[in-house]
Amino acid sequence: MAFSLNGRPKFRTLDTDLDIELAEPSTQTLNAVIDIDSAILGYRREPEIEFFMNNQPIFLFRREGKLASYAFGYGNHTIGPAATLSKIDMPALMHQIEQSALAGGADSIELVIPAMADNAVRWALESGYKMDSFHEFLLSSNPDMKLDRYLITQSSFT
């Protein structure tokens, strides 16, 4: 199950040991994102990631120089997806997406968070986002997906 949480992006600070960079769309960035996606979702999706890279800002997160996470920021009224190798980093991804939406002039954003990503849901609720009464169900034949480390895209075109 996934929750939809709606709210107004606000400026806030977050203490993290992650180094965050705004990455350029490139083969190297594409491969980095695909590697994380493969570890979290269990499959590769080059065409989708390439599409997002060409339409949204992409942030890469590193810990001690090693790639730890990625997040697609606000662009074309869309946010996400985002994924991290360690679920403790979900709040940092959510924060960066929110700050990207704020900088992009978004009045509000919708975060679609798998229910098992408890620290991401907690961050959103503690940050003033409101849970929509509509919940989504995710269907997959892969029991090894690590959805506690994933933010679903809420695309304007889907």
The ranges assigned to domains in the chain are 2-151
pLDDT of residue 54: 92
Look at 74-83, 93-102, 107-116, 130-139 and tell me which has the smallest mean pLDDT: 130-139
Q: Fold for 2-151, please state it.
A: Aminopeptidase (3.40.630)
Whether the CB-CB separation of 86 and 68 falls below 8 Å is answered with: yes
Q: Can you tell me which residue has the tokens 């002039």?
A: 105
Amino acid at 79: I
Q: Which helix (H) or strand (E) holds 119?
A: helix 118-126
pLDDT of residue 141: 79
pTM: 0.92
Look at 28-37, 74-83, 134-143 and tell me which has the smallest mean pLDDT: 134-143
Average pLDDT on 72-97 reads: 94
Whether the CB-CB separation of 114 and 147 falls below 8 Å is answered with: yes
Give the tokens for residue 91.
Answer: 């709040």
Flag whether pLDDT at 92 surpasses 80.
yes
Helix (H, G, I), strand (E, B) or coil at 57: coil
Flag whether pLDDT at 156 surpasses 60.
no
CA gap 155, 83 in Å, rounded: 16
- CA atoms 141, 144, 147, 149: torsion sign: negative
Give the tokens for residue 3.
Answer: 């929750």
